[in-house]
Amino acid sequence: MFSKRIACIGAGYVGGPTMAVIAMKCPQYKVNVVDISEARIRAWQTENLPIYEPGLLDVVKAARGRNLFFSIDIRAAIRESEIIFVSVNTPTKTFGEGAGKAADLQYWEKVAREILHESTSAKIVIEKSTLPVKTAQTMENILNANGKKVPFEVISNPEFLAEGTAVKDLLEPDRVLIGSRETPTGLKARQEVVDIYANWVPLERILTSNVWSAELSKLVANAFLAQRISSINSISALCEKTDASVLEVSRAVGMDSRIGSRFLNASVGFGGSCFKKDILNLVYICEYYGLEEPARYWESVLRMNEYQESRFVRKMIREMFNTIVGKRIALFGFAFKADTSDTRESPAIYIARKLMEEKACVAITDPKALENARIDLAGCEENLDLVEDPYEAARGAHGIAVMTEWALYRSLDWEKIYKSMEKPAFLFDGRNLLDHERLFEIGFNVYPLGKSPLKHF
């Protein structure tokens, strides 16, 4: 009764929401989402999804049990589907050749072998994880090294969704990119994938390309986004020395329509599972092909990010009289950005650890990410206090540092918070989220990013 059967291996941040939206928009397809993690799959079957994304539960509920299914039976899903998305994680290698830079493709390869092993009919295999350029070729080599004569086509369909806005990004994408071999069978497979998205995405937004361009475009898009943040962050350091305001500079610069205004918010640093990993990947590929200058160029985007994080924590220590031993310091937000529970590569991890190295007592509050914070900071419990309530986190603290731009922090009763803190009370706004003038009037010593501080002494 279904016109296509689609499987997705990997029910994470990317696979889960993407398949939920496909299933909701295409009731004529059967969508099987599978994963090796039983706990994750079980969570997808409840009201308590394993990831937090605004609007996601409604999308899942619209299709779950109708044409959207979650299971751990990876083999059955492979056997019954003509189209298989692969969305398993591809972390940075931590060992051997390319450690610290190259992508660790062991899960990917394992999945490819499993697909090969189980398949008895033609399959279109779609790379959804971000992968180094030319991975599709490796996949093809593995899949076609079979005596079975089962035809496989490998398609690259990188995901551009951002966490916190995943559902919206999937429903109204700027573009969908589908890369394939430009052979007759490759083009036919490409069209099949175009047909899926064409159920809700206007055709002019569905771009097709060769498979290498599609793979590379994903890395480059993330590298460009990260580069903009590093650029404005480098300027934030200069603004703090010159009485310029990075907010005014980024507004003036961003209004140039050639530049554009987005991704020009100075911050304590960018985090997330993609930017660092993808840039390291790009650097590794450049080095592999002997392109030293391009490799160093992109590496500097990461160096600037590290500089921004360490600059922030150094400023905190310096301003709080060069010692924070025994002082309570509250971190407002731990997620790598607002509207997600994800803390992967969050600058807050680094900042929290540094503060603890200086023997501060770190109180962390976050509306969604405390569970992840507990895992990220395992082993540091002695100097750590994880609290739901921001007022509790701030009580008795010498300083507050805003790590994540949760909107709710704007509407807190800051007078009440001020009253409950040790004096002088310090506020370091790592996201330029709050009303600095008002906080200063209340009595805080306020340190925005890329702007002169407002101090009472």
- Kindly list the catalytic residues: 274
Closest separation between CB of residue 146 and ligand UDX, Å? 20
User: CB within 8 A of 138, min separation 6: which ones?
Assistant: 105, 109
Question: What residues contact residue 66 under an 8 Å CB cut-off, 6+ apart?
Answer: 23, 27
Residue found by looking up tokens 């306020």 in the block: 446
- φ, ψ (nearest 5 deg) of residue 297: -55, -50
β-bridge partners, 400? 330, 427
The residue ranges that bind ligand UDX (CB under 6 A) are 9-15, 35-37, 40, 87-90, 107, 110-111, 129-130, 159-163, 222, 225, 229, 263-265, 267, 270-275, 336-337
Shortest distance in whole angstroms from residue 279 CB to ligand UDX: 11
Which one, 80 or 385, has the nearer CB to ligand UDX?
A: 80
Q: What are phi and psi of 151, to 5 degrees?
A: -80, 130
Residue nearer to ligand UDX on the CB measure, 35 or 153: 35
CA distances from residue 249 to 183, 200, 235, 312 in whole angstroms, order as listed: 49, 39, 9, 20
Q: Which residue has the tokens 């309530």?
A: 389
Contacts of 394 (CB under 8 A, 6+ apart): 330, 363, 400, 417, 420, 421
Nearest alpha-carbon partner for 334 in 318, 324, 325, 347: 347
Torsion sign (Cα): 131, 199, 201, 49: negative
Query: CB of 152: closest distance to ligand UDX in angstroms?
Result: 18
User: Token digits for 79?
Assistant: 């056997």
Strand residues in 72-134 grouped as ranges (E):
83-86, 123-127
Burial of 314 (0-12, 13-18, 19+ CB in 10 A): exposed
Q: How far is the CB of 222 from ligand UDX (least distance, A)?
A: 5
68-71 vs 83-86, strand pairing mode: unpaired
Q: Which of 10, 34, 48, 221 is nearest to 127 (CA)?
A: 10
Q: How many CB atoms lie within 10 A of CB 221?
A: 18
Least distance from ligand UDX to the Cβ atom of residue 273, Å: 5
Sequence-ordered list of residues with C-beta below 8 angstroms from that of 216, at least 6 positions apart, any chain: 133
| Least distance in angstroms from the C-beta of 209 to ligand UDX | 17
Q: Which is nearer to ligand UDX, 21 or 320 (CB)?
A: 21
Paired residues of 103 in beta bridges? 92
Q: Of 194 and 335, which CB lies nearer to ligand UDX in the complex structure?
A: 335
Measured from the CB atom, the residue of 70 and 414 that comes closer to ligand UDX is 70
3-state secondary structure of 331: strand
Considering beta carbons, is residue 36 or 380 the nearer one to ligand UDX? 36
CB of 289 to ligand UDX, least distance (A): 22
Residue nearest to ligand UDX (CB): 12
Give the CA count within 13 Å in the CB-facing half-sphere of 303.
Answer: 7
H helices within 198-245, ranges in order? 211-242
Nearer to ligand UDX, 43 or 442 (CB): 43
Query: Cβ 188 to ligand UDX, closest distance in Å?
Result: 26
**Which CB atom, from 173 or from 399, has the smaller least distance to ligand UDX?**
173
